[in-house]
Amino acid sequence: MLSVARGEAPADISVIGGKVFSPATKEWIETGIAIKNGFVVGWGEHEAHEIIDVRGAYISPGFIDGYVSMEYTKLWIDAFVDMVLPHGTTAVAADPYQLTSVFGVRGIEELASAADKLPFTFGIYASSFAQSSQFDTTGEHAGAVEIAKLIRDSGALGVGGLLNQSTVITGEDDVLAKIAAARGLRVVGHAPGVTASQLDAYLSAGVESDVACLSYEEAMEKRRKGMWVFLRNGTTRQNMAELLPVAKSYGIRNLAFSTDERELESIFTSGHIDECLRAAVASGVSPEDALIMASTNPAEFHGFGRLGYLSPGYQADLVILPNLTEFRPSMVFQKGTLVARSGKTMVFTVPKTSPPSWMQEIAHVDLTKIGPESFSLPQPRGQMVKAISISQNGANVREVDREFHPDDPSINRLAILGRKSLGKDIGIGLVEGIGLEEGAIASTVARGPHSLIVVGSNSINGTEDMAQAIAALIQMGGGQVVVKNREVLASVGLPIGGIISTLGASELREELHALNQAAQNLGIGVPQPFRYLDLLCLAVMPELRITSLGSINVVNLIKADPLQAN
């Protein structure tokens, strides 16, 4: 490599004719790039075994997702990499807290092992997230000892999965022990709405970043106090539009892009980090600043020491851009290898990886204990009841008191079964905002404990359809299902822990389309109903959520009987 750098031997590849981005000076330098053994070894003219002319194009470092939970795409890691490479994403910092909830630390170990085989930099945080709250009856253990082992043996970037912000702020011993296990590595968090003295406590505990800011003012306070802020461009949860003015007015220090909670369909239709770049530039951020937030800044934060620049000595992750408005790569190189061209991954670039059989054992529920009566509630006509109300975009989940009529489709039955409770723990509640007129929908994608969650109509067959939906989930080994009149209308199998598919992106997309269409045909008024099931059981965020212990007000930390309105 040094002999190539000195000009005494030919490079493997020389990329010529383009303008190379220098993040340090925000300049575009007209020069060639020499690559040897997957690394940039020099600028300028070099002899090479292969010359690639990208005349007139812009050459950027590979894009890095600053914070992502891959599980939201429902893709296993090989299919995920195959999906995002054509968009220019060559590295991510992943916090696989959903895998941790299902499998504990051995799920992260398996993910890290699979990642090693792929043409991608897959940084993984040791997620501390198992049980989301004291109200979860399921969830694997992920303590300080396990986290330290992941950091030591699997090269974890630091500690993640800190979704329960109150336990950090109050300084619970086990949470502080997990943070201490980072031993100088990064600690990434979720702190929506945390400001003032509570933010001071959160930062004093050792958390260094937030992906869930709710407002410009909140982001400003966090930046002033030295916190890193990830601008999230998810599917349901997004804060980019609110937070981009922070970058325009006060610069891009401590800012990076994130696609946390971005679902498969959004990547198909809109893109990945390239979509963040388009949105930023369209809002008035300079292309140079946007590229730094897409590459150099996340590389710095996460300790990707050889990424984020195209300087000699850095890994040759290159994105070739025809222009600086659309940011749609014509070519993508990862470690000096052409991995994607014209929006498609090169054939045979991403090897198939298969998770072990133990990752496809999802739930222990005795079906003999589950029947229509499991989901029954008294049906007093006109009585005031307590319900979980979810907004049209899923951003707000509130507790409401309202009048209850059994034949009213605006309110539905809601139940959740503990994944390992053998059917003994069934939490019952009511939900408004989904609008199911008949049938039932059910899923094993239920953030927090990833238990089995089902919503049924108030029709005469509603409880029977709920029981059938749960039975179908067990029989198919996890996934999502739509049922009407005890008949399965559509289903998507998610055999990896009940949350991840073994299919490729295109095949999975087709199945998800059919599933959502079947749900729409039951009268559901929201566009992606299974997304809302996922939100209803995360018992760490306001206001009312469902757990296997029942409806819980997570603000007051009390159980809320659906038939006892205020």
pLDDT tens profile 190-203: 999 999 999 999 99
Among 262, 277, 306, the domain-final residue is 306
232 and 366 assigned to the same domain: no
Distance of CA 228 to the CA centre of its chain: 18
Among 306, 324, 343, the domain-final residue is 306
- Indicate whether 40 belongs to any domain: no
Please, what is the end-to-end C-alpha distance for the chain in angstroms? 73
Eight-state DSSP code of residue 501? B
Highest mean pLDDT range out of 232-236, 245-249, 377-381? 245-249
120 and 269 assigned to the same domain: yes
- Indicate whether 315 belongs to any domain: no
252 and 367 assigned to the same domain: no
Whether the predicted model's global pTM rises above the 0.75 cut? yes
263 and 398 assigned to the same domain: no
- Indicate whether 248 belongs to any domain: yes
pLDDT of residue 329 exceeding 70, the answer is yes
- Cβ atoms 221, 199 nearer than 8 A: yes
Contacts of 275 (CB under 8 A, 6+ apart): 87, 233
Task: Compute the average pLDDT of residues 527-537.
Answer: 81
297 and 421 assigned to the same domain: no
- Indicate whether 330 belongs to any domain: no
- Indicate whether 451 belongs to any domain: yes
**What is the predicted pLDDT for the residue at 134?**
55
* Sheet containing 487-493: order of strands: 397-403, 384-390, 426-432, 411-417, 452-456, 440-443, 479-484, 487-493
Structure tokens at 359: 């990752």
437 and 547 assigned to the same domain: yes
Among 265, 286, 306, the domain-final residue is 306
User: Domain range spanning residue 500?
Assistant: 359-559
Closest CA to 161 of 134, 124, 189, 137: 189
pLDDT of residue 566 exceeding 60, the answer is no
Digit-coded pLDDT (tens) for 334-366: 999 999 999 999 999 999 998 999 998 765 666
391 and 296 assigned to the same domain: no
- Considering its fold, how many domains does the chain have in total? 2
Task: Compute the average pLDDT of residues 243-261.
Answer: 96
121 and 195 assigned to the same domain: yes
131 and 234 assigned to the same domain: yes
208 and 302 assigned to the same domain: yes
